[in-house]
A = this chain, B = another copy of it.
C-alpha cells in the first residue's frame, strides 16, 4: 500500500481533533447569559461532572480488575503461539508466530485499558463541552434561532468528532505500535488488539446503564412528585429533583450515546480488519486489513464539511423548521461519503472494487432508510403516533395496548431493512472474484464494507444527537431562569427537533449493530479457526440444530429480556428514592412550596447519582458474566456428559448465544426505542392540540385523554432511554467479550 494512504489516517484523525478543538473554542467564547442562567447552568455543570467523575471512578475500578482478569485468563489459556493458517489454492500452510504466553495476556489487557480510556476520555470531554453549551444556547436563544442552532449543534459536534477521532486514532495507533514497534505481523495483530473493542464496550455498557438509569429515574421521579403529586409545572424551581432531571439529560443522552457509538466504531473496525486478514492471507495485500481505517478517515472529513455547511442553510427570518438545515447537512455528508467510498474502494480493493463500492452504497442507503423509518414511527405527522393519541381517548389501558402493538410492529421495518441490506451486500461482495478467496469470504467482507460505509456519517449523526440534550437543557434553563417568551419559543422548537434527532440516532445505532452483528460473528469464528488451526477461508458451520447451539441461542434471547428487565426495574427503584427525598424536603421546609426558600438541589442530585451507580451493577455484571458462564458451563460440564465427545460444546453454545442473542437484542431494542418515542410524541401531539373531539375542538392539556397519554409517555421513558440504548451496547459487548475470550471456550 502506498504511503499516502497510510498518511491519510493520522491526518484525518488529527484534523478531526483540531476541528473539535476549534468548535469547543467557539462555543466557550459565546455569551454565557444572565446571572440567573449562569447559576442554574453552573448547578447542572457541577451535578453532571460530579456524577461523571464518580461514575468513571467506579468504572475505572471495574475496568482495572477486569484488565487483570483478562490478562490472567488470556495469558493462562494462551499457548504462546498464534497460528494463521494460509490456504492457497487448496494447499495449507501454517504461519506460526511466537508471541509468548504471558505477553499475549499483557497485550490484550493493555489494549483493553486503551479502549476503555479512549472511550472514557471522549465521553468526558464531550460532556464537558455539552454542559457548557446548554447555557450558551439558552443565551443565544434570546438573540436568534440561527445563533441558537449554531451554538447547540457545534457544542454537540465536539462530542461527535472527538468520539470518531479517538476511535480512529486509538485503533490505528495500537495497530501501528503492535506492527511497527513490537514487530508483530499484520496478519496477527488484529487478533491481538480485540481487547481494545472489549474495553470500549465495557465502558459503554456501564456509562449507558448508569447514565440511562440516572436520566429516566430523575425524569420519572421529578414528574411524579412534581406534576402529579404537588401539581407544579415541569422544570419548576420549587421541585428539588428538577436539577437532577436536567443533569440526567446530559449524563444519559450525551455521555451514554457517545460511548455507544465509540464502541460501535472501534469494535466494527477491528472486526472488519480481522475479516480483512482472511483475504490478506491469500492475496498478500495489506490493503484488505487497512481498508476500514481509510474509509473511516474519509468519513470524518465528509462529516466535518457537512457540519460546517449547516449555518449556510439557516434562514435569518426564523420561520424555518430547524430540521431542514440539519437534513441538508446530512445530504452533503452522504454525497461526500459516496465519493470517499469510491476513491477508497477503487484505490485499495483491486480490479473488482466496484462490487464493494456497491456494498458501501447499500450501507449508506440503509442509514438513510433508518432515518425515514424512525421518523414514520415516532413523528406526529404519521399514522402510528396518531393511532396512539387516538387510543388515549378511552384511557391509559388502550393507550398502552396500542402503543405496544405499534412498538411490536416497528420491528418489521427494521428487520426487513437490515435483512435486505445484509443479503444485498453479501451477494454483491460474493460476486467479486479474488483468486483463491471463496465467494462466501468475499461476501462477508461485503457486509463489513456496508457497515463501515454506513458509519462514515457517524460524527455528523452524533453531533445531531448531542444537539438534543443541549437544546432540552437550554429549554429547562430558559424556563427555570424566567427568560422571555420569545426565547422559550425558540428553545421549544429546537427541543422538538432534538427529540427527532435523538430518535434517529437510536435507529442508526440499531442498524449499525444489526449490520455489524454478522461481521463480528464472522470475526469470532475466525478467532476460533485460528485457535483450532483451520484455514481462515475454510467453512466452520455453527449448526443451529445442534443441542448446544440451540440451548445457547435460547439463553441468548433470554439474556436480552432479563437484562432489559433489570434495567427497567432499576429506573423504578431509583425514581422511588428520588420521590422520597423530594417529599422529605417539601415536608421539612414549607418555604419551598411557598417559593420563599430554595430546595436542596445538590442533595437530590447526589442521591440520584449514588442510587444509579448502584443500580447499574447488576445488569452490567449479568451482561459480562452470562456469556462467560454459559461458555464455561458447556465447555467443562456439558461436554463431559456428551456421549461420544462434546469437545466443541463450549464455543458452540457461545456462538448460539452470541448470534441469536444479537438478533433478539436488535428486535427488542427496536421495540423499546420506537414504542417509547411514539408514546412521547403522542403526548406532544395531544399537547399541540392536534387531536380533535367529535365537535372538532382540540383535546388538549388537562383532559383525561392527555392524562392517559402522559401514562404512556412515562412508561416509554425507561424503554427508550434506559433499556433500549443499553441493549445496543449489550449486543456489541457480546461480540467483543467472546472475541477476547474465545480460547476459553475451546477445549
Chain A residues within CB distance 8 Å of chain B: 220, 224, 228, 391, 394-398, 400-402, 404-409, 411-412, 414-416, 418-419, 422-423, 426-427, 430-431, 438-440, 443-444, 447, 514, 518, 521-522, 525, 539-551, 553-555, 557-558, 561-562, 564-566, 568-569, 571-572, 575-576, 579, 638, 641-644, 655-656, 659-660, 663-664, 666-667, 671, 710-711, 714-715, 718
Contact = CB atoms under 8 A, between A and B. Distances in A.
Contact of A409 (B550, B565, B641): B565
A49 B657 CA distance: 47
Given A402-B572, A655-B544, A718-B401, A557 B643 contact: no
A711 to B, nearest CB: 5
Given A544-B660, A558-B415, A643 B571 contact: no
Given A394-B224, A554-B663, A545 B565 contact: no
Residue of A571, A638, A643, A671 with highest tally of chain B CB at under 10 A: A643
Contact of A408 (B404, B406, B553, B561): B561
A423 B642 CA distance: 9
B518 A550 contact: yes
Contacts of A671: 561
A282 to B, nearest CB: 16
Given A407-B565, A543-B544, A544-B655, 9 more contacts: A228-B395, A401-B714, A422-B547, A426-B547, A427-B643, A447-B547, A553-B659, A553-B660, A561-B667
A347 to B, nearest CB: 23
B711 A395 contact: yes
Name A's interface SS.
helix
A643 B431 contact: yes
A407 B440 CA distance: 40
Nearest to A429: B643
Contacts of A655: 544-545
Given A544-B655, A667-B561, A568 B638 contact: no
B555 A419 contact: yes
B408 A565 contact: yes
A406 B543 CA distance: 33
A664 B554 CA distance: 8
Contacts of A439: 642-644
A398 to B, nearest CB: 6
Contacts of A638: 423, 427
A401 B660 contact: no
Contacts of A397: 220, 224, 396, 710-711, 714-715
Contacts of A547: 422-423, 426, 443-444, 447, 518
A501 B523 CA distance: 48
A544 B451 CA distance: 19
A715 B561 contact: no
How many copies make up the complex? 2
A525 B553 contact: no
Given A554-B663, A572-B405, A715-B397, A656 B544 contact: yes
A644 B434 CA distance: 13
Given A518-B550, A545-B521, A547-B443, A569 B405 contact: yes
Contacts of A406: 565
A408 B672 CA distance: 12
A525 B545 contact: yes
Contacts of A557: 411, 415, 557, 663-664, 667
B402 A569 contact: yes
A323 B710 CA distance: 41
Contacts of A718: 401
A37 to B, nearest CB: 32
Nearest to A659: B544
A21 B596 CA distance: 81
A563 to B, nearest CB: 9
Contact of A394 (B447, B579, B656): B579
A421 to B, nearest CB: 10
A667 B558 contact: yes
A566 B525 CA distance: 38
A652 to B, nearest CB: 10
A225 B610 CA distance: 46
Contacts of A714: 397-398, 401
A558 B541 CA distance: 24
Given A415-B558, A561-B408, A643-B431, A715 B400 contact: yes
A659 B401 contact: no
A540 B50 CA distance: 57
20 contacts: A220-B397, A394-B579, A396-B397, A397-B714, A401-B572, A405-B569, A409-B561, A409-B562, A411-B557, A415-B555, A419-B554, A423-B638, A430-B642, A438-B644, A439-B642, A542-B543, A543-B543, A544-B544, A550-B663, A664-B664
A742 to B, nearest CB: 14
A659 B408 contact: no
Contacts of A565: 404-409
A547 B445 CA distance: 12
B400 A641 contact: no
Nearest to A432: B643
A415 B539 CA distance: 30
Question: What 10 A-B pairs have minimum CB-CB distances, sorted nearest first?
Answer: A415-B558, A408-B565, A541-B543, A397-B714, A439-B644, A541-B541, A405-B569, A409-B565, A430-B643, A419-B551
A554 B415 contact: yes
A426 B419 CA distance: 33
B568 A408 contact: yes
Contacts of A401: 568-569, 571-572, 714-715, 718
A547 B444 CA distance: 8
Residue of A391, A398, A548 with highest tally of chain B CB at under 10 A: A398
B711 A558 contact: no
Given A419-B551, A544-B549, A565-B405, A572 B391 contact: yes
Nearest to A406: B565
A554 B558 CA distance: 16
A664 B655 CA distance: 17
Residue of A397, A409, A718 with highest tally of chain B CB at under 10 A: A397
A531 to B, nearest CB: 16
A561 B411 contact: yes
Contacts of A412: 558, 561-562
Nearest to A525: B545
